[in-house]
Structure 1
């Protein structure tokens, strides 16, 4: 087993050390069980992904050490449908209170249920990201009777459970509106809005909620229960009432605050993280820790509290609101290792943002710079560890782009060529004449990610439009200094026609006009001259003061067309 030291251990290694040691104390020789729980009540956004990524990295590290480890993904698809999201036909309100697997999928969906509709994109994203899980459906677990003995036990111990919960109950009752929008977003983002702890009425407290066998919803109240016979009487708001034997009845579930600790004990979970909202006084994590030990005879998993994930230009994400990006959206513009890296490089309790706007270019630049440092053996140990976790798993390396050209350059080329593959290949083949790109396949999937980013994230008014004809009026108005600069540039195109060569040329022309060497260090005056020269080039090439990086733009436009547009 690999040994970690404070100098080399990243957060994943340290957690793996703790989990392995705890697993040996609890159940020596048995597979280590790490767990995630996801409710497919809506889009499973990039904040929810931390519920998947943290156990994934820890489980994968344990597997890398040659230890048997299972990452259990529990689909909480037997949860109730709580509200109709924005953009969905209000008629779906008739399904509120039903299990998510019993609610029809949104209109136009090919899936059989609401739950399956929202599961599918995450499962596809996990496959692309190399995330291996053992997935179970809570609908299947409950309706097949897997938890029957645990349910009957909880009902027998309902008074003790009620006493534990009573220690933490506050004035804010279940269903009371959150105090502000931030609190609402935090609750909805994690499912904590549904932290029901059961109902206390004239018949007493019950930690179980039946789904009505007539209407399928959970607007039910237990009116009587017999511990000996397990006969349970309930009434529903729809008017239906019946008495059933709970020992034979499979249409219902334990309330969440009881369900979670029951499953910890049943599954033997050693590691499971949870969101910050679950750690407030009286929340499911805090109460669950008491219930699992005092009632179910198990132990609470170890696991960090994880912080929220945001999106550039957007407020904190909430899965119940429409339009929030999910992993599948991110993977349209990010290579899978890059998206993995964003989660691997930050400790779980550190919040961070994922860029969908122009900042994605900076993210790719950072990623590429790290790759170069790792290849040269110059990366810090923790940075190298995060990179290694991003590009591979215990099962092997993830697919990678053979020629990972800079994302910002690819985006500029796609922008200028409007995706024309022949033109794109022509430009990319000229980036490095000593090592030309001979097929666009060498640049995929990164090229496809850049194409998708331009298509979906760059507004039409910001797209680059190269002039079809020279700006005769502007060319005629130029002074001798500007004309001389353009002549130097045009005369040097042939000799400098590569990305590096054109970079040197466009920065070098103002230096030459000032009588300086091409490698002269910039002065404030020189920087001002360069900015003015660049602005002139942009006006002559694209009719604006800014645009894609000039060397890339020149390559994209092509040598002959550049000569025509810049020659007075």
Structure 2
């Protein structure tokens, strides 16, 4: 108000209170999960589940599996309800193929559980752990907390013996369900830019389900819902020859090593249910109330639609479900942590603050495909994020966009995720990093001089480090700025009269200590002075044409290019002495 007091009128308060609470896809998914759970018994929690097969780098598309569940669980927790994010590592899935760059001899392990395949790098105990561990680090940085389950440990501990025996006893009914869906064609989703067909595998592998091919017939052992791993070679290249319902003895032969043996489903744990039976079985055992999946999982005849019928055989019901679309990658992507040519969360976190990466996933409905751009779009993305942060500071502007910002910025366990104490635009940090060869201390001094004072360079982190990494690793070398070491004597000697006049006016007024606003006014104002106008006069069409020529001249004399970072920023980064030296004719 005019006297400096706060407007506490009933009308003002009523306006703020009457604003409806914003909602988004997370709100709706949480509503569905809560409805699915119904009235909770004492000690019962709402279970939101995710799953991933660590058969290779868990790329940015697979990250959607984790973050979708995380955001929904966080919303349920915000409402004061008990909830858990249960994540299954499908490390008992078969090793299916040797990726590029790995010793071809690893083909000997095809068919073995991922947890039993050696890590070719020798840095982890298994292939599965090699890909789990870096993702676990990234998820911790992203504020994602999960109750993790290894399916290798569950199966080998006999946790599912009862369910396996139940599935085998009702294999005829299972086959009837599978046969009903077998003729339904599943159309794959088109891949967005940045992901090829090889990267579009589901996070929960459809492990060459034996129950999805061949002729129908309830007693056909080729359609048996359980697949043993060979006791001798450890592969799933087994063919079932007989099963005795009374003793639970299952006889098989291995086509890879020739071993013939018998495993008892009541006392031994040497295999697993095929995927389309395994998934609904676990819904029942774990009491899953919400679980997302790639949109392919919800297509006719796919895992979720089949599972909705099969879960009833285990006395359960299908969880609420959202299908998510794929996530692509754009720009020059340097995969430092991934093998196989797809960017991972660790790659994205090299240049994106954790809240910004989270925001990319929460601001869009899961069915919307999008691209994480590692190129010039990064600058615009940070600008948009900073603008949204300023909007979020005003309670009267709280809407669905601000709600997404809030979800991205903090978690119930970690609180507010790391952001810079002093927020400097990413475009400024990256531009200064470009022309200073990445010296953090020098960058800190320059940004302080241009209006972002701070006590220590650490106040600029984690954004400063990401800006430096982006400029060094993700911006093509031919697009970076290389400052001249010596003046361009030939060009300075060939200046046109108006060009010489512009440089003279610039150098006469260039202060020893450069302030960004003053330099901006001067650089844009020199052509005005050349036309007899004042620095603060509006530019005429002639002045605008002169400015274009003047800026091109400055870029050529300073960085030997037709364009570069904003000239005022470049001036401040170089300092007055260097600018004078490069622009002064001999």
The match for 1:429 among 439, 448, 455 is 448
1:478 to 1:187, Cα distance in 2 relative to 1, 3 A = closer
Question: What is the rounded CA distance, in whole Å, between the counterparts of 1:546 and 1:320 in structure 2?
Answer: 34
Question: What is the rounded CA distance, in whole Å, between the counterparts of 1:422 and 1:226 in structure 2?
Answer: 74
1:52 to 1:203, Cα distance in 2 relative to 1, 3 A = closer
Calculate the aligned-residue CA RMSD, in Å: 2.8
1:52-95 deviation line (CA, Å, top 9, x unaligned)? 01110010111112211100010000000000011111111000
Question: What is the rounded CA distance, in whole Å, between the counterparts of 1:367 and 1:185 in structure 2?
Answer: 32
Which of 239-248 and 45-54 deviates more?
Answer: 239-248
Asked if 1:481 is matched to 2:498, the reply is yes
Question: What is the rounded CA distance, in whole Å, between the counterparts of 1:346 and 1:340 in structure 2?
Answer: 11
* Structure 2, unaligned runs of 5 or more: 1-16
Partner of 1:467: 484
CA contact (8 A) 2:249 2:264 kept: yes
Asked if 1:132 is matched to 2:145, the reply is yes
- Using structure 2 for the length normalisation, give the TM-score: 0.89
- Map 1:215-364; keep pairs closer than 5 Å: 215-237=233-255, 238-293=257-312, 295-313=313-331, 322-364=340-382
Question: What is the rounded CA distance, in whole Å, between the counterparts of 2:577 and 2:542 in structure 1?
Answer: 32
1:26 to 1:259, Cα distance in 2 relative to 1, 3 A = farther
| Per-residue deviation, 1:188 | 2.1
Partner of 2:54: 40
Secondary structure class of the residue paired with 1:224:
strand
Q: How many residues align?
A: 557
1:468-492 deviation line (CA, Å, top 9, x unaligned)? 2211211121122222222333333
CA contact (8 A) 1:56 1:131 kept: yes
CA contact (8 A) 1:197 1:257 kept: no
Question: What is the rounded CA distance, in whole Å, between the counterparts of 2:573 and 2:188 in structure 1?
Answer: 53
| Per-residue deviation, 1:520 | 4.7
Partner of 2:123: 110
Secondary structure class of the residue paired with 2:392:
helix
Which of 474-483 and 344-353 deviates more?
Answer: 474-483
* Structure 1, unaligned runs of 5 or more: none
Question: What is the rounded CA distance, in whole Å, between the counterparts of 1:533 and 1:363 in structure 2?
Answer: 30
Question: What is the rounded CA distance, in whole Å, between the counterparts of 1:542 and 1:250 in structure 2?
Answer: 68
Partner of 1:14: 28
Question: What is the rounded CA distance, in whole Å, between the counterparts of 1:526 and 1:345 in structure 2?
Answer: 43
Secondary structure class of the residue paired with 2:87:
strand
Question: What is the rounded CA distance, in whole Å, between the counterparts of 2:303 and 2:497 in structure 1?
Answer: 75
Partner of 2:558: 541
Question: What is the rounded CA distance, in whole Å, between the counterparts of 1:202 and 1:300 in structure 2?
Answer: 27
Partner of 1:402: 421
Question: What is the rounded CA distance, in whole Å, between the counterparts of 1:489 and 1:31 in structure 2?
Answer: 70
1:344-384 deviation line (CA, Å, top 9, x unaligned)? 11111111111111211111111111112222447450111
Which of 392-401 and 320-329 deviates more?
Answer: 320-329
| Per-residue deviation, 1:221 | 1.2
Partner of 1:165: 178
| Per-residue deviation, 1:187 | 4.8
- Using structure 1 for the length normalisation, give the TM-score: 0.92
Secondary structure class of the residue paired with 1:131:
coil
CA contact (8 A) 2:446 2:572 kept: yes
Which of 164-173 and 122-131 deviates more?
Answer: 164-173
CA contact (8 A) 2:229 2:236 kept: yes
Partner of 1:413: 432
1:92 to 1:372, Cα distance in 2 relative to 1, 3 A = same
CA contact (8 A) 1:208 1:254 kept: yes
Secondary structure class of the residue paired with 1:48:
helix
Partner of 2:569: 552
Partner of 1:370: 388
| Per-residue deviation, 1:10 | 1.8
1:216 to 1:180, Cα distance in 2 relative to 1, 3 A = farther
Question: What is the rounded CA distance, in whole Å, between the counterparts of 2:168 and 2:507 in structure 1?
Answer: 85
Partner of 1:62: 76
